[in-house]
Amino acid sequence: MDLNNLTLELTDRVAVVTVNRPKSLNALNPDTLAELLEVFTALGDHEDLVGVVITGSGEKAFIAGADISAMKDYGVLEGRQMGKLGHLVLDTIAAFPKPVIAAVNGFALGGGCELAMACDIRICSDNAKFGQPEVNLGVIPGFGGTQRLPRLVGTGRALELLFTGDMIDAAEAFRIGLVNRVVKQQELLPECLAIMKKISTKGPLAIQLCKDVVRTGMELDLARACRYEADLFSICFASEDQKEGMTAFLEKRKADFKNR
Ligand code: DAK
């Protein structure tokens, strides 16, 4: 894989993807989006992977949005193409078979906030700032922000952020439920890796099915979603891991899951 805008590191079966364009505060240009798509597509085939942590390089920005200089002169068709690519990348992250954690290490604005919202869990450093400032530029969010933000924080709070373009700090993001946890900058990556380590001790198939049923179920009505849960619950009983997990409990030992 030839990566010019990202770095990819694999440690203890966890992939750390870092958007690496510090000069433009890790803004997302089409090449970076294409690389994200390539990396997540390749990692999706990695059976032993526990999950992915995505972050930005440096201590100032996670991702300061879509690259404004790249899109300034776009016409309708280029705008549409950029929007399609952005949605494809974020949908790929949201549907990625393993957990994805956003380690938000600074500004998460516009497309950066939208990318963080497509992840399963958001942990941020205490200097992080969030916002959807698109109205300042005469546009609306184009990578799902108008949809994922109200689903995460409620319609009223989302519309206030979308109408004002205001930035909120880490404490406020935590208060409204936009992030799971706030930690010091130097603890950010260790904290995310510690969550992944805990996840790595659980039944891998169960983790995968949990993500699937939550993500799919949120798009269904409650009755259908619960029926889907019942289907996936029963599938667990086709796995060796279910036998191992329950046997280990009864034998008062730690389960040795094999992802089968
Ligand atoms: N794009 C390009 N360059 C950026 C950038 C961005 N989003 N954000 C920052 N930079 C660049 C700055 O231009 C500056 O470059 P130089 O002047 O050094 O060459 C460098 O990063 C450092 O930034 P500042 O000098 O501005 O740093 P400050 O600490 O003073 O301010 C800031 C930091 C994050 C508050 C400020 O840089 C800022 O307000 N940045 C813009 C934030 C923003 O508006 N982001 C949202 C972008 S809109 C679409 C779908 C989706 C989208 C668009 C279209 N379609 C379907 C077509 C998404 C849109 C967005 O994300």
Output the pLDDT for position 258: 87
User: Residue 128's closest CA among 165, 86, 179, 54?
Assistant: 179
Range of the domain at 178: 6-200
Here the CATH number for the domain that contains residue 20 is 3.90.226.10
**Are 142 and 231 members of one domain?**
no
Output the pLDDT for position 207: 97
**Are 85 and 156 members of one domain?**
yes
Residue 221: what residue type?
D
Cα 182 to middle of ligand 1, angstroms:
23
Output the pLDDT for position 259: 80
Cα separation, 141 vs 165, whole angstroms:
11
Token couple for 173:
């993001």
3-state secondary structure of 6: strand
Residue 101 bridge partners (DSSP):
53, 121
Among protein residues, the one whose CA lies closest to atom 17 of ligand 1: 24
Output the pLDDT for position 129: 98
Closest atom, ligand 1, to C-alpha of 78: 57
CA torsion sign for 152, 62, 183, 162 is negative
**Are 130 and 237 members of one domain?**
no
Is 78 catalytic? The answer is no
Output the pLDDT for position 151: 97
Cβ(55)–Cβ(189) below 8 Å:
yes
Burial class (CB in 10 A: 0-12, 13-18, 19+), 25: buried
**Are 227 and 117 members of one domain?**
no
Cα 68 to middle of ligand 1, angstroms:
6
Residues of the chain with pLDDT under 50: none
Here the CATH number for the domain that contains residue 210 is 1.10.12.10
Pick the catalytic residue: 35, 134, 240, 251? 134
**Are 150 and 214 members of one domain?**
no
**Are 114 and 195 members of one domain?**
yes
Our answer on whether the CB atom of 63 is closer than 6 Å to any ligand 1 atom is no
CA distances from 255 to 48, 111, 205, 235, 251 (A): 17, 40, 14, 19, 10
**Are 212 and 114 members of one domain?**
no
Output the pLDDT for position 260: 81
Cα separation, 60 vs 63, whole angstroms:
9
In a domain? residue 259:
no
**Are 30 and 74 members of one domain?**
yes
Is 160 catalytic? The answer is no
Pick the catalytic residue: 35, 114, 160, 244? 114
**Are 214 and 186 members of one domain?**
no
Predicted TM-score (pTM) of this structure: 0.97
**Are 189 and 208 members of one domain?**
no
**Are 186 and 221 members of one domain?**
no
Q: Which of 19, 21, 24 most suits a substitution to test ligand 1, by most atoms within 8 Å of the C-beta?
A: 24
What is the number of domains present in the chain?
A: 2
Output the pLDDT for position 7: 98
**Are 50 and 132 members of one domain?**
yes
DSSP H helices in the chain: 30-43, 68-71, 76-94, 111-118, 145-153, 155-164, 170-175, 185-200, 204-217, 222-236, 240-250
SS (H, E, C) 152-221: HHCHHHHHHHHHHCCCEEHHHHHHCCCCCEEECHHHHHHHHHHHHHHHHCCCHHHHHHHHHHHHHHCCCC
Cα separation, 93 vs 64, whole angstroms:
18
Among protein residues, the one whose CA lies closest to atom 51 of ligand 1: 142
Cα separation, 85 vs 2, whole angstroms:
19
Our answer on whether the CB atom of 86 is closer than 6 Å to any ligand 1 atom is yes
